[in-house]
Amino acid sequence: MVSACRGFANRFQVPCAADQRPAASFYYVSVVDGCVAAKDLAQVGRCEDKERERLQAFGERVRRLRETQGRTQEALAEAADLHRAEIGFVERAEREVGITLAWRLADGLGISFADLVRDLD
């Protein structure tokens, strides 16, 4: 992680010169609460790929459990107190899933949170 980067970006790939890095390197730069952080894109790509795989595995598990129970997305959404579109987003891995959403899904599916996330890694 590089603490400062010359150049301007907010979550974009930008050429920039950073402390102790070659000027032509590409970094992933984000600004959170006024703090700038830059990561080497090679590292970011690997992290994002793993996160994407986990989201896809989670979404597939939710879909499989829902279909095994013979439920529609609408029925699961109602049981989990969510909007139907949210179920679709989760199943297609189009959104990150927070712990509160995962708990609601587990409750809606009638299983424990632990069973929902077991062996996803």
List per-block mean pLDDT (blocks of 10 residues) for the chain, which spans 121 residues. 40 42 45 49 58 91 97 97 94 90 96 92 73
pLDDT of residue 46: 54
Tell me if 5 sits within 8 A of 15, measured CB to CB.
no
Dig out the tokens for 31 from the structure: 């600004």
Place of tokens 């049981």: 79
- Of 107, 64, 50, give the one whose Cα is nearest residue 82: 107
Class for the domain spanning 49-117 = mainly alpha
The structural domains of the chain, with segments of one domain joined by +, span 5-44, 49-117
Cα–Cα distance for residue pair 59/72, rounded to 1 Å: 15
What are phi and psi for residue 47, nearest 5 degrees?
Answer: -65, -45
At CA 75, angle to CA 72 and CA 78, rounded to 5?
150
pLDDT of residue 47: 56
pLDDT of residue 100: 93
pTM strictly above 0.85: no
Instruction: Strands of 4-100 (E only): list them.
Output: 5-6, 12-15, 17-18, 26-32, 35-40
